[in-house]
């Protein structure tokens, strides 16, 4: 896309210039195909190698003999010959001196090269471009993005091409309008390029309808009242700088490290969508992010996005790849897009619970257990999906992006064959391998159904009354108490009277032990004592109320069954004692 409106040199046709990465090889040996004009998202826990992957790609574009650590090898493709590179430099770089000599030195993005050297590099190897690479491939680390919004020297738009993005905006009103709309969407403020500032080009926060003429006093007055973008906060400077790099034509490859830096979550999500939608069709975009909001923004967009999840395993970076079709499929999952489950991309593993109360108590218990034994903190995400029924779909979504996941469920998960079987399938287990034990246990437990014990009824009625907000007996409370006095099924009895310990002795108990071990090996950990509240039966309340009181009383700090249980879950993820 030529910069100047007169389209002095067209890049259309068979000799159009193009530079792209066609494939990457990760240190674990996995090859990743990169589509032309596509987006690659590097995600993963801290210290997984995301930022290093970008540096590896960039260095290997500059020097063919550069050795990558995370991305060990790239394949690059070059389109166009000598005429194409000369035309691209004429359209997108600043000639110095501009005296008509054949070997003019061109400058762009702070890098300079004589045209003869540029042609020599271009004609040898697309992975050994020397100073041509930083002109075509922009590595947008945080400090580079902040610097792009600073005022810059003007240039002669008749005889010269711009060398920095802000000079591009000076000539291209369509691009400055796109940038202004992006700023308004993110910060509620428009932007204005001062086109009548003489030797300098300034970018201001604000909007004017006045004509940008040096002798227009009203224009000058309004501009003087507008603050400079370079004087704003780092959040605005970072986002605007990054969008400047994207809308300025000529960049074939853009590498962005932590685009979410300095931004609030809603702005990070918007930025993800802008990055996907606004990057030029011919440009490739490589992103290293630690923000689920940025990922959600890409899911909101329509671009082809490849997700590469990295995790360090010794000196090797283990990788998992989601192709664009699978990313689009996951983007249609409301549960994935509108919850914190995507945060699991940036942790070493996820522990999925039934509700928020379970998450709070089990996480506090694990934190206390590791601290008590002088282990380093874990890097696990405790999250929930509002009940057992949604657990299978969440497990499948997390496993699709190669996030290790474990499930904690109350014992009544064994009462529902459909949910239990769906969880086993989602965890890639074989239902046939555990079905006989489950059926034996289920038949024995169901035969236990009997009128409820008075002690059990008394306890449950007290719990209902303790949780009631009303000061008088209501019809709803009456119904709840009446339901408690009905005959209990076997599974209700097991849940209320000690969990697995309440199972009939003999074959049923043996089947239960085998079943719980088999499920744990798959990643489903059943609360053998019954439910969350049974870890401390002397604590009143249920759900959030019980969890709050248990934490206030320090139950999570006690070395008991619940701490052994959650440590076992963490150890199955290899997270016992690991740091983030």
Question: What's 93-105 look like in SS3?
Answer: CEEECCCCCCCCE
Residues 371 and 472 in one domain: yes
How confident is the model over 535-560, as pLDDT tens digits? 998 898 888 899 999 999 999 999 89
Q: What is the DSSP letter of 347?
A: S
Last residue of a domain, one of 331, 357, 381: 331
Any domain includes 205: no
148 belongs to a structural domain: yes
Q: Report pLDDT for 446.
A: 84
* Residue 561 vs residues 187, 520, 536: alpha-carbon distances, Å: 50, 16, 10
Give φ, ψ of 214 to 5 degrees.
-60, -30
3-class SS of residue 301: coil
What pLDDT was estimated at residue 448? 79
Beta bridge partners of 355: none
Give domain status of residue 177, yes or no: no
Instruction: Say yes or no: 427 and 401 in one domain.
Output: yes
The H-or-E segment that residue 111 falls in is strand 111-114
Both 530 and 399 in one domain: the answer is yes
Asked whether residue 218 is domain-assigned, the answer is no
* CATH number of domain containing 103: 3.40.50.300
Within a domain: 173: no
Rounded to an integer, what distance in angstroms lies between the CA atom of residue 122 and that of residue 339? 47
Residue 3 pLDDT: 26
Is position 398 within any domain?
Answer: yes
Boundary-marking domain end, from 279, 303, 331 = 331
- pLDDT number for residue 143: 78
Handedness of CA 175, 181, 184, 185 (dihedral sign): negative
Residues 241 and 113 in one domain: yes
The average confidence (pLDDT) of the chain is 85
Q: Given this model, what pLDDT does residue 488 score?
A: 62
Q: 258 by DSSP, 3-state: which? A: coil
Q: Can you read off the two tokens belonging to residue 377?
A: 């903190």
**One domain for residues 430 and 520:** yes
Name beta bridge partners: 309: 43, 320
Does residue 97 have a cis bond before it (omega within 30 degrees)? yes
Same structural domain, 311 and 412 = no
Are residue 367 and residue 512 in the same domain, yes or no?
Answer: yes
Question: Could you tell me if residue 210 is inside a domain?
Answer: no
Q: 547 vs 27, 353, 459, 538, CA distance in Å?
A: 44, 14, 18, 12
pTM (global) more than 0.75 = yes
Please list the ranges in the chain whose pLDDT falls under 70.
1-15, 97-102, 126-127, 302, 335-339, 449-453, 469, 483-488, 575-580
Q: Which domain holds residue 423?
A: 337-572
Query: Is there a single domain that holds both residue 267 and residue 351?
Result: no
Length of the chain: 580
Sheet holding 71-79, edge to edge: 31-33, 18-26, 71-79
Q: How far apart are CA 441 and CA 252, in angstroms?
A: 63
Domain termination residue (choose one: 288, 314, 331): 331
CA distance 24 to 21: 8
* Number of domains the chain is built from: 2
Q: Please tell me the distance from the alpha carbon of residue 529 to that of residue 566, in angstroms, as a whole number.
A: 13
Residue 274, in any domain of the structure = yes
353 with 323, same domain: the answer is: no
Q: Of the candidates 365, 404, 323, which has an alpha carbon nearest to the alpha carbon of residue 553?
A: 365
Same domain, 245 and 381: no
Give 191: exposed, middle or buried? Use CB within 10 Å, 0-12, 13-18, 19+. Answer: buried
C-alpha 224/C-alpha 454 separation (Å) is: 82
Residues 246 and 342 in one domain: no
Alpha helices per DSSP H over 77-233: 82-92, 115-122, 133-136, 142-148, 165-171, 173-187, 217-224
Is residue 36 a contact partner of residue 20, using CB atoms and an 8 Å limit? yes
């738009």: which residue's tokens? 157
**499, 525 contact by CB (below 8 A):** no
Q: What are phi and psi of 152, to 5 degrees?
A: -135, 165
Same domain, yes or no: 454 and 486: yes
């Amino acid at each position: 896309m030529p910069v100047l409106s007169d389209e002095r040199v067209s890049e259309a046709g068979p000799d159009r210039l193009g530079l792209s990465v066609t494939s990457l090889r990760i240190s674990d040996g996995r090859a990743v195909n990169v589509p032309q004009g596509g987006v690659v998202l590097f995600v993963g826990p801290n210290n997984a190698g995301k930022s290093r992957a970008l540096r590896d790609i960039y260095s290997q574009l500059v020097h063919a003999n550069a050795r990558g650590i995370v991305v060990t090898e790239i394949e690059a493709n070059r389109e166009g010959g000598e005429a194409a590179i000369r035309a691209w430099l004429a359209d997108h770089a600043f000639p110095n001196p501009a005296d008509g000599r054949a070997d003019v030195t061109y400058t762009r993005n702070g890098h300079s090269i004589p045209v003869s050297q540029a042609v020599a590099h271009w004609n040898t190897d697309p992975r050994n471009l020397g100073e041509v690479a930083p002109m075509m491939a922009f590595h947008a680390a945080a400090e580079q993005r902040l610097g792009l919004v600073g005022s810059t020297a003007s240039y002669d738009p008749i005889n010269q091409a711009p060398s920095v993005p802000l000079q591009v905006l000076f000539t291209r009103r369509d691009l400055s309008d796109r940038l202004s709309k992006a700023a308004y969407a993110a910060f509620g403020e428009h932007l204005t390029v001062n086109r009548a500032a003489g030797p300098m080009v300034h970018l201001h926060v604000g909007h004017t309808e006045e004509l940008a003429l040096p002798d227009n006093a009203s224009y000058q007055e309004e501009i003087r009242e507008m603050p400079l973008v370079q004087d704003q906060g780092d959040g605005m400077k970072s986002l605007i700088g990054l969008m400047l790099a994207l809308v300025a034509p000529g960049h074939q490859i853009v590498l962005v490290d932590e685009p979410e830096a300095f931004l609030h979550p809603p702005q990070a999500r918007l930025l993800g969508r802008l990055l996907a939608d606004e990057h030029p069709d011919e440009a490739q975009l490589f992103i290293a992010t630690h923000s689920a909001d940025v990922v959600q923004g890409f899911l909101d967009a329509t671009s082809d996005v490849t997700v590469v999840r990295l995790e360090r395993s010794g000196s090797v970076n283990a990788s998992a790849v989601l192709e664009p079709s699978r990313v689009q499929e996951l983007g249609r999952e409301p549960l994935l897009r509108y919850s914190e489950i995507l945060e699991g991309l940036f942790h070493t593993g996820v522990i999925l619970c039934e509700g928020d109360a379970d998450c709070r108590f089990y996480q506090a218990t694990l934190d206390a257990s590791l601290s008590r034994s002088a282990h380093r903190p874990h890097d696990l995400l405790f999250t929930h999906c509002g009940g057992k029924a949604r657990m299978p779909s969440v497990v499948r979504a997390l496993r699709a992006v190669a996030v290790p996941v474990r499930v904690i469920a109350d014992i009544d998960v064994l009462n529902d064959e459909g949910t239990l079987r769906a969880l086993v399938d989602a965890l890639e287990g074989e239902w046939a391998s555990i079905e006989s034990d489950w059926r034996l246990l289920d038949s024995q437990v169901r035969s236990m159904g009997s009128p409820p014990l008075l002690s059990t009824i008394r306890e449950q009625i007290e719990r209902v009354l303790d949780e009631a907000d009303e000061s008088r007996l209501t019809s709803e409370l009456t119904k709840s108490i009446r339901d408690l006095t009905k005959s209990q099924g076997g599974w209700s009895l097991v849940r209320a009277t000690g969990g697995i310990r309440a199972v009939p002795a003999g074959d049923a108990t043996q089947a239960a032990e085998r079943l719980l071990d088999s499920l744990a090996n798959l990643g489903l950990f059943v609360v053998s004592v019954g439910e969350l509240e049974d870890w401390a039966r002397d604590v009143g309340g249920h759900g959030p109320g019980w969890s709050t009181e248990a934490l206030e009383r320090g139950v999570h700090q006690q070395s008991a069954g619940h701490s052994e249980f959650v440590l076992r879950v963490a150890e199955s993820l290899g997270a016992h004692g690991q740091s983030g």
